[in-house]
Structure 1
Amino acid sequence: MGQTFLEFTFTPNPLQPAVDILIAELSEIGFESFVEKETSLVGYINEKDFNEEQFLELYVLQTGDFQITYTTKSVAQQNWNAEWEKSFDPIYIGEDCAVRAPFHKVRPVTYDIVIEPKMSFGTGHHETTHMMLQHLLETDISGKSVLDMGCGTGVLAILAAKKGAAQIDAVDIDNWCFKNSVENAARNDCPQIQVFEGDASYLKNKMYDIIIANINRNILLEDIPTYASCLKKGGQLFLSGFYLSDLKMISAKCEASGLQFLKKIEKNNWVAVKYVH
Structure 2
Amino acid sequence: MANIIYIGYEFKVSPLQPAVEILIAELGYAGFESFVENETGVTAYIQKEEWQDTILDEVQILNSDEFEITYDFSEIEQTNWNAEWEKNFNPIVVDDICAVRAPFHEKFDTQYDIVIEPKMSFGTGHHETTHMMIQHILKNDFENKSVLDMGCGTGVLAILAEMKGAQPIDAIDYDNWCYLNSLENVERNNRKHITVLEGDANLLSGKLYDVIIANINRNILLQDMKTYLSCLNEDGMLFLSGFYNSDIPIIDAEVSKYGLKIQETLERNNWVALKYQ
| TM-score w.r.t. length of structure 2 | 0.95
| Aligned-residue offset at 1:21 | 2.2
8 A contact 2:10–2:73 mirrored in 1: yes
8 A contact 1:4–1:77 mirrored in 2: yes
The residue number in structure 2 matching 1:105 is 106
Distance 1:159 1:253 in 2: 28
The residue number in structure 2 matching 1:151 is 152
One-letter code aligned to 2:6: F
| Aligned-residue offset at 1:72 | 2.2
Residue 168 in 1 paired to residue 169 in 2?
yes
One-letter code aligned to 1:264: T
- My pick for the range that moved more, 25-34 or 94-103, is 25-34
Backbone CA RMSD of aligned residues = 1.5
8 A contact 1:32–1:120 mirrored in 2: no
| Aligned-residue offset at 1:154 | 0.9
The residue number in structure 1 matching 2:47 is 46
In the TM superposition, what whole-angstrom CA distance separates every residue of 1:162-221 from its partner, at most 9, and x where no partner exists? 111111101111111111111111111112111111111211111000000011112112
One-letter code aligned to 1:182: L
One-letter code aligned to 1:141: F
Distance 1:80 1:219 in 2: 25
Distance 1:137 1:67 in 2: 39
Distance 2:222 2:213 in 1: 14
Distance 2:148 2:108 in 1: 29
| Aligned-residue offset at 1:63 | 2.6
SS at match of 2:149: strand
| Aligned-residue offset at 1:2 | 2.5
Alignment gaps of 5+ in structure 1:
none
8 A contact 2:167–2:194 mirrored in 1: no
8 A contact 1:9–1:41 mirrored in 2: yes
The residue number in structure 2 matching 1:263 is 264
| Aligned-residue offset at 1:233 | 1.0
8 A contact 2:86–2:119 mirrored in 1: no
- Give the total of aligned pairs: 276
Quote the sequence identity (%): 58
| TM-score w.r.t. length of structure 1 | 0.95
SS at match of 2:54: helix
| Aligned-residue offset at 1:44 | 1.7
SS at match of 2:207: coil
SS at match of 1:22: helix
- My pick for the range that moved more, 55-64 or 95-104, is 55-64
SS at match of 1:52: coil
In the TM superposition, what whole-angstrom CA distance separates every residue of 1:57-100 from its partner, at most 9, and x where no partner exists? 42122233321112223222012222111111100001110011
Distance 2:27 2:60 in 1: 10
